[in-house]
Structure 1
Amino acid sequence: MTQDKPELLAPAGSREAFIAAVQAGADAVYLGGKAFGARHYAPNFQDEELAWAVRYAHLRDVKVYVTVNILVDDSEAISLVEYLRQLYMMGVDAIIVQDAGVIAIAQKAAPNFPLHASTQMTIYNLAGVEFLAKAGLERVVLAREVSLADIQYICRHSPVEIETFTHGALCICYSGQCLMSSMIGGRSGNRGRCAQPCRLPYQLVDRKGQPALDNDAAGEYLLSPKDLCTLELLPQFIQAGIASFKLEGRMKRAEYVSVVVDTYRQAIDRYFSGKEFVVSPHELKNLAQSFNRGFTTAYLLRKEGREMMSDRRPNNRGTYVGRISGYDATNRMATVKLEEPLGTGDIIECWVKVGGRVNITVSSMQLEGRPAAYAPAGSEVTIPVTGPVKISDRVFRTFDAKLTERARSFFSGDEIQPMGVTVTVQAEAGKPLEIIMEDEVGNQGRAATDFLAEPARKHPLTSEGIAKQVGRLGNTPFVLRELACHFQGELMVPVSEINEARRKAVEALEEARLTKFHRPALPPLPPSQFEPALKKTAAYQKKPLLIVNTDTPAKAKTAWENGADVVMFGGESFTHTDFRPEDYREAVCMARAFQRQIILSTPRITKEWQTHKVRQDISLFQELQPDAIAVSNLGTLELVRRLSTCPIHGDFPLNTYNSFAIDFYQSHGISSLTLSPELNFSQIEKIVGCGYPVELECLVHGYVPLMVSEHCVIGSHLGNLQGERCERPCCQKDFWLKDRMNELFPLATDQFCRMHVLNAKELSMLPHVGQFGRLGLGRIRIEAKKGSVAFVSKITSLYRQLLDQSNTVSQEEIQTAEHENITRGHYFRGVL
């Protein structure tokens, strides 16, 4: 079976990076516009720059995708509509989206605009892909946690294109599921402003606060992954049927984009050339030299544990070039025994045993006692250093002057691979000289001089002279390949006229090449269609139901005994055991005995290997007929819609941030939703005020999960891993991550060996519980999976009494329940 050549999709955070991507061989480029993108801190592209980029790319048959991959507030809807329609008319080939509300808005604002699901939508199984295909999306970017085997399976059965990341930075948390930056500092990754707390130092500590790891055995950066590099896996990726290979790096420099795109372009072309596919050490070194934290294949082949992590350094480590073999402290001169070549202009870093790093720009060096600009591997060079070093200190190159010079040629010089054109020039006395310029696929540009050709007196037109003028195609994507001249006699036309006709012919050819990208004008669309109508309804003027989320029958029973209206049960278990059918049956029986409601939950993450078990659970739930089945991802939503008639509750990992997302989920079968914990009271009031028939709830108490990860810090360091088998030290004791501010983040591991990083501060809205009722919210929820039975009893009882406006709850009881380590979440501050 012949394989289609996959699209090579490159990042661009600046104009130079964009040119580099196109010139280095990208088939498509993704970038952020003036707003609504997940890389707020990249330079990005303003309107004029974006229009230029689309034209520049389309002239070269390169596509442009614009990221609209953040959660959008209702107040931004009208601006978003205008922006999307502008992008559509500009000719942007597709937009990349995260927010279900943005999908709904885009399909109404620009119905034919191709939509690609961002990796922020957290799609990792075929059912999730099928859901989005039915919702009208044309491509899905899979989560980085998906294995190569699952990618192959999904591609084989997918009704839409599949895109995967092939190179660049990794998030330790499932993309789209991280609240860490948001909750710690208010900078939301879901709003494009991630502060990357995962790249900061942490200690793994036990209940007593004592370090659980030996400093020599582990670095400080326990949540910092290496960078993904799949160059050697390209044959498997191609054979899997992946439509688009995505390179990460919108925050990276243009030189990085040049090197990475060029390397992957050559590798893909090499595979399709029919020659033996071999990746050279030189290619891997170039990738590493451009930027690396160490390279990994992440979860593609197996769980790599510690091997996946860059726990000793969270930023660029450069490439190893040698060791210090001598040091003259008086003159600040060091001798380096080189294992790789070194040149002047390079920047190196000595990893000293005491004092961290010594950075040196190699402005000069001595080789065998003589000044040298280049030193080969195996030689010893002497260089001036900026700080004390020691014998045997390792030396890394963080900047390669020669590689950088070549990388810059992709965006600072002439067209790297200009398109050949055939030019026909014809002239006849008394008529304009005509230039016909045709590209390799038959597009034509025609232009003629204003001047009418005259019989020549001295210097008639010649093919050589015409070639000189017509061949001046600098600053265009074209190069003269063939010229045909047809002159009727010896003629004269001024050079300036020929040049002007050539310029117009180029413009006409460019317009001919762009014709296929033109779109018809969009019909007018009143902005009022995107202004949610505020209409308080009687259905929401009632006391909120109290919901408690639990993972054991004992906690569920205690919650009902202390006044819970609804118990959520199932999904992830933090008790190190899985849920059995009898556990679900017992919970439902208790609900009926208490005459209360029960929601049976499904796991937050359901990778392809889990879907068989999830299907079994859904079939069981259909038999048990709970009041609802809770889903946290689109794949499970798709499975529940197929296999059950029970009402469906959408949990907070669905990132319901605006009223348009509520509309979207309601139209796809959801009858109740937990709102995003990143919303503030003002936003919630506006959403609830729209009077949706969907029941809405908010989290009000508990340790909110900030991250969910396939990488387990505990197991990777203390699990005595043999292959993928772990001794599960998490079952013996509890662990926390301690940050630089001595905040302690509880770690929980579930039955699937995923790690959940919980907030260091316990969410508590005890003093403000009445506010939720005044907003008209239908439900409030306590997160109790990490809590004890005693915790469930105490906190549920307090909220019950406060909801009932009981006078028996004293301020002292509230203060005691809250302790000093609590947070009000985003209810009063919101996110950036």
Structure 2
Amino acid sequence: MIELLAPVGSKEALIAAVESGADAVYLGGKMFGARHYAPNFTDVELAEAVRFAHLRGVLLFVTVNTLLDDSEIPVLVDYLQHLYKIGVDAIIVQDLAVAAIARKVVPDLPLHASTQMTAHNLAGVEFLAAMGFSRVVLARELPLKDIEFICNNTSLEIETFIHGALCISYSGQCLMSSMIGGRSGNRGRCAQPCRLPYTLVDAKGNDVLGQADAGEYLLSPKDFNTIEVLPELIRAGVSSFKIEGRMKRAEYVAVVVDSYRRAIDRCQASQNAYTVSEQDKKDLAQIFNRDFTTAHLFGKNGRAMMSDRRPNNRGVRIGRVLSYHHNSKTAVIKLDEALSIGDIVEFWVKVGGRVNVTIQSMMVDGKPVTEAKANTSVTIPVNSPVRDNDRVFKVFDAKLMDRARAYFTKAEAVRRIPVDVTVTVSAGKPLMISITDADGFTGQAETAFLAEKAIKRPLTPETVSKQIERLGTTVFALNKLTCHIQGEVMVPVSEINDARRRAVEQLETERLARFARVPLSQDRSIANLLPQKDTAKFKFSRKPELVVNVDAVDKAMAAVDSGADIIMFGGESFGKRPLSADEYHETAAYCQKHGRQLILNTPRLLLQNQMSELDKIITLFKELQPLAISVGNIGSLHILKKLGNIPLHGDYPLNIYNSVTARYLTQLGLSSFTLSPELNFVQVEELAADKLAAVECLVHGYLTLMISDYCMPGSFLGGQDIKKCNNACLRGPFLLKDRKNELFPVATDQYCRMHILNAKELSMFSQVPRFIRAGVSRLRFEAKYSSVSEIAHITKLYRELIDQGENHPLIVKDKINTIEHDHVTRGHYFRGVL
């Protein structure tokens, strides 16, 4: 069975999702959810939502998919226990810490891995299986062939998105909202900077897309829509089809779920004759669209997947302006689609932007009408001037919204459960009512009143039916009534109604009993839940080591010559050129000659067809015998930890935000790790004080804010088909200019992935003494975007600051800031994130 999973951001959306045909819903409480700005549910409302869903046979999953601060652990423990007790069917998790705690607090509560975990290959799924997850939501960047491969090679349930908004960055890997405005997507507060206008410029500030017919919303993807390719996703083996949209209105949920419900049912009923109705296509577009795309399912789409001219709902085109009459302020529109009173239309004016009009009156052939059909010319009042041939879009369809609202505004249920009722009665005995539903559950009740011989009006099947049919606002609907009435007997109507009510209550209890859980053990103190510290494996030095992360041999040499203790080398190369084995050997030899250590980097992301490259990398790295191999995703970690004989470093894309995640990963074999750049100084100091492993902090460089399989320069300047790309990205440097004229460097790597870097360079020169006092083991300079001369200069300064600490002349004279340029940031070290 294919599960249709619907988004729920409010109580109305919950009703809409269930009544329109969802098999399961996902929603958030007031804490730990990745959609903090949705209405969400209180603890009491969550319990009510679980009962509402379970009574109707619908599963309910709760999002606990944000990164967790150590101070939040006691609250999380209580919250998880509450979710378990009220019968939540699974929690959706991003942070490894939440999963580790849940395994101990509520071991019988199923875990689903959020797409925020960036599970994008089979090895990542296997890592999560070993941790106790029962389902994985795959990254939205996966092609269909990778999805099928993973489904065919795992016993876990695989969930994929099928409809709704797309993130341009790999989910769980985006720091843009966080670094720009302090609102972290990893903490549920994304400000969606991807929907803002940008300009792609060269080093001189010139707009390089002026001749490319590009819009200004260069990071805004179209909406995902797979309704026409559902058979292929079903054949791939996907278990759950997920609709995005917890921030959307209940009407949106109703229309999208209803359309996909019928589509899935048709698909499963007639595998070889699947078609999608034109009305369903129109409804999906009308309720909300930024235009539609299948994203990466069938290969990279480049600019074809981007909604670069409009970042929000564009509606459905319904015609063009034939003429505008200034005196009467009316426009004549030739309609391609029907138009009704109450609809809202938008004119895409060639000069002046958009004109929005709510239809309150209209005329066809000089006569007032309430509806105008397609292929007619309609006249409507428009106060602002529009031009001949301007396109007209319907952005609100009154009839569609009325139909959608019917799913959640009626007192009676839309999708009822059929029941068969048997009524038995004879003189001297109570009337017995037995109700059996379509799933085989039964409820029974009898009257307190003993049936008496009727004097005037004996019970008949017709009189009994009138009372039994009154199922009203319950979820049940009478399918069949069987009456066994012996003799002419009488039972008061009030008694029959009371027995019916109690039989229904018992049936509801039976339906809910299948979701009952074993009571929790009482021994769940927090002290017993957290991994125990083990400092025996690691020895700490008084001052931190200086790490420089580079992607070229000459950069590595410059860092060594300027005083770096450790060179981090490899992974993604911003020159778009993969590093050769000779370059690895040359760098390793140079480090060895000068008594420096080497950490070799693995790629941050590896899709399934790139995993063979990891095998080659591992073979080479084992030969070079580095200090450690760095891993940035759970798939690579799963593969590398099996080797056992090479120390592993966990890089910051693993989102190590708290002590539980840090301890869990060190117990898996990490000898060092880079903390999340979203942590503030106090959090860093607390984690460093654990003395668990070598703790590394990013202190300098242009940090990657987004990593995407969409390459902007290649898409607009190099050809949409990646196979025909002319490597336009190499004509750079390119920068992304925002509304405030901030310039974000754009780099591409050997996998044709785009990295958008922070507009400001992280610089923590002045805080080196504080890092030393905190006991941080390593300070890291992200230098891939820096020139050789910059690397030499910056590395030398950090070397001096680490060696001299508080005694450095610039610190003594309080002039440390004089060595920085004007465009620097302290990241989150002082402000933290929301």
Could you tell me which amino acid in structure 2 is paired with residue 64 of structure 1? L
Deviation at 1:300, TM superposition (A): 0.6
What residue in structure 1 maps to residue 127 of structure 2?
A: 131
Q: Secondary structure at the match of 1:724?
A: helix
CA distance in 2, matches of 1:500, 1:189: 52
Per-residue deviation at 1:280?
A: 2.3
Map 1:446-485 to 2 at 5 A. 446-485=444-483
Alignment partner for residue 827 of structure 2, among 803, 825, 828? Answer: 825
**Offset, 1:93:** 0.6
Instruction: Please point out which of 228, 236, 241 is paired with 2:237.
Output: 241
Q: Distance in 2 between matches of 1:39 and 1:808?
A: 46
**How much does 1:527 deviate?**
3.3
CA shift at 1:808, angstroms? 5.8
Structure 2 equivalent of residue 361 of structure 1: 358
On the 8 A contact 2:202/2:733 being kept in 1, the answer is yes
Partner of 1:768: 767
CA–CA separation in structure 1 for the residues paired with 2:803 and 2:660: 33
> Offset at 1:358?
0.6
1: CA distance between counterparts of 2:707 and 2:278?
35
Deviations 1:588-626 (A, max 9, x none): 212211112110000111111110011110121112211
Q: For the residues of structure 1 that align with 2:182 and 2:408, how far apart are their CA atoms?
A: 37
Tell me which of 99, 104, 111 is aligned to 2:107. 111
How many Å apart are 1:75 and its aligned residue? 0.4
Whether the 8 Å contact between 2:104 and 2:529 is mirrored in structure 1 is no
Once the 2 structures are TM-superposed, how far is the Cα of residue 536 of structure 1 from its aligned partner? 10
* Count, aligned residues: 827
Indicate if the aligned counterparts of 1:602 and 1:631 stay in contact, CA closer than 8 A.
yes
Q: Is 1:160 aligned with 2:156?
A: yes
| C-alpha distance in structure 2 between counterparts of 1:331 and 1:457, whole Å | 77
Asked if the contact 1:78–1:531 (Cα under 8 Å) also holds between the matched residues in 2, the reply is no
Cα displacement (A) at 1:576: 2.4
Q: Which amino acid aligns with 1:828?
A: F
Q: Classify the secondary structure of the residue corresponding to 2:477.
A: strand
Matched, 1:333 2:330: yes
1:47 matched residue in structure 2: 43
How has the CA–CA distance of structure 1 residues 532 and 775 changed in structure 2, closer, same or farther, with 3 Å as cutoff? Answer: farther
Aligned to 1:263: 259
Shift of residue 439, structure 1, vs aligned partner: 1.0
Alignment pair present for 1:170 and 2:172? no
SS of 1:802's equivalent in the other structure is helix
Work out whether residues 534 and 689 of structure 1, in 8 Å CA contact, stay in contact via their aligned partners in 2. no
Please give the TM-score of this superposition, normalised by the length of structure 2: 0.97
Aligned to 2:8: 12
Distance 1:575 1:678 in 2: 27
On the 8 A contact 1:139/1:160 being kept in 2, the answer is yes
C-alpha displacement of 1:642: 3.1
* 1:715-765 CA distance string (max 9 Å, x none): 111113455321112212201000001100011111111100000000000
Q: How far does the alpha carbon of each residue in 1:333-354 deviate from its partner, in whole angstroms, 9 at most, with x for none?
A: 1110001111111100001111
> Where in structure 2 are the equivalents of 1:68-467 lying within 5 Å?
68-214=64-210, 217-274=213-270, 276-413=273-410, 414-467=412-465
Deviations 1:484-540 (A, max 9, x none): 222232222221121111111111001111111000110111234357999999954
Residue 816 of structure 1, CA deviation: 4.6
Deviates more, 1:331-340 or 1:409-418: 409-418
Per-residue deviation, 1:88: 0.9
Q: Which amino acid aligns with 1:708?
A: I
Deviation at 1:38, TM superposition (A): 0.2
**Counterpart-to-counterpart distance in 2, 1:439 and 1:495:** 24
Q: Cα RMSD over matched residues?
A: 1.7
Shift of 1:381: 0.4
Aligned to 1:751: 750
Q: Deviations for 1:392-427, whole angstroms, at most 9, x for unmatched residues?
A: 110000001111111111112232221111111122
Hey, what's the Cα distance between the residues in 2 that align with 1:386 and 1:141? 48
Distance 1:216 1:685 in 2: 49
Q: Which moved more, 1:581-590 or 1:398-407?
A: 581-590
Does the CA-based 8 Å contact 2:419-2:435 persist in structure 1?
yes
Give the fraction of aligned pairs with identical amino acids, expressed as a percent. Answer: 57
**Quick check: 40-49 or 582-591, which moved more?**
582-591
1:601-616 → structure 2 map (5 Å cutoff): 601-616=601-616
Task: State the match for 1:725 in structure 2.
Answer: 724
Identify unmatched segments of 5+ residues in structure 1: none
> In structure 1, what is the Cα distance between the partners aligned to 2:510 and 2:535?
55
Deviation per CA, 1:72-107: give whole Å up to 9, x if none: 100000100110111011111110000011111111
What SS is found at the alignment partner of 1:751?
A: coil
Moved more, 177-186 or 268-277: 268-277
Give, in whole Å, the separation in 2 of the partners of 1:317 and 1:88: 41
Q: 1:292 to 1:721 in 2, by over 3 A?
A: closer
Mapped contact 2:94–2:113 kept (Cα < 8 A): yes
TM-score, normalised relative to structure 1:
0.97
Given that residues 531 and 664 in structure 2 are in contact (C-alpha distance below 8 angstroms), is that contact kept between their aligned partners in structure 1?
no
Distance 1:813 1:576, change over 3 A: farther
- Worse-superposed segment, 173-182 or 572-581: 572-581
Quote the Cα distance in structure 1 between the aligned partners of 2:493 and 2:680: 68
Measure, in 1, the Cα distance between the counterparts of 2:254 and 2:507.
28
> SS at 1:322's partner residue?
strand
User: For residue 146 of structure 1, what is the amino acid of its counterpart?
Assistant: L
Matched residue SS, 1:805:
helix
Residue 779 (structure 2) aligns with = 780
Q: 1:120 to 1:723 in 2, by over 3 A?
A: closer
2: CA distance between counterparts of 1:730 and 1:308?
18
Kept in 2: contact 1:182–1:188 (CA 8 A): yes
> Is the Cα–Cα contact under 8 Å of residues 697 and 778 in structure 2 kept in the other structure?
yes
Q: Give the letter for the 2:506 counterpart.
A: A
- Distance across 2 between alignment mates of 1:511 and 1:499: 18
Paired letter, 2:183: R
Contact 2:453 2:490 (C-alpha < 8 Å) held by counterparts: yes
Q: 1:334·1:385 contact (CA, 8 Å) conserved in 2? A: yes
Q: What is the Cα deviation at residue 689 of structure 1? A: 2.1
Q: 1:408 to 1:215 in 2, by over 3 A?
A: farther
CA contact (8 A) 1:341 1:375 kept: yes
| 2:800 counterpart residue number | 801
Contact 1:573 1:785 (8 Å CA) reproduced: yes
Q: Match of 2:108, SS?
A: coil
Q: Matches of 1:481 and 1:438 in 2, distance apart?
A: 10
Return 158-167 or 802-811, whichever deviates more. 802-811
Q: Which moved more, 1:213-222 or 1:793-802?
A: 213-222
Q: Which amino acid is the alignment partner of residue 815 of structure 1?
A: N
Deviations 1:330-376 (A, max 9, x none): 22111100011111111000011111111101111001111111111
Alpha-carbon distance between aligned partners in 2 of 1:64 and 1:724, rounded to the nearest angstrom: 43
- Quick check: 47-56 or 63-72, which moved more? 47-56
- 3-state SS in 1 of match to 2:76: helix
Aligned AA for 1:46? T
How far apart are the structure 1 equivalents of 2:26 and 2:211? 41
Instruction: Compute the displacement of 1:60 (Å).
Output: 1.4
Q: Where does residue 494 of structure 2 map in the other structure?
A: 496
Secondary structure class of the residue paired with 1:349:
strand
Task: Label 1:654 to 1:722 Cα distance change in 2 as closer, same or farther (>3 A).
Answer: closer
The amino acid that maps onto 1:632 is G
Distance in structure 2 (CA, Å) of the matches to 1:234 and 1:530: 42
SS at match of 1:61: coil
Whether the 8 Å contact between 1:619 and 1:644 is mirrored in structure 2 is no
Letter matched to residue 384 of structure 1? P
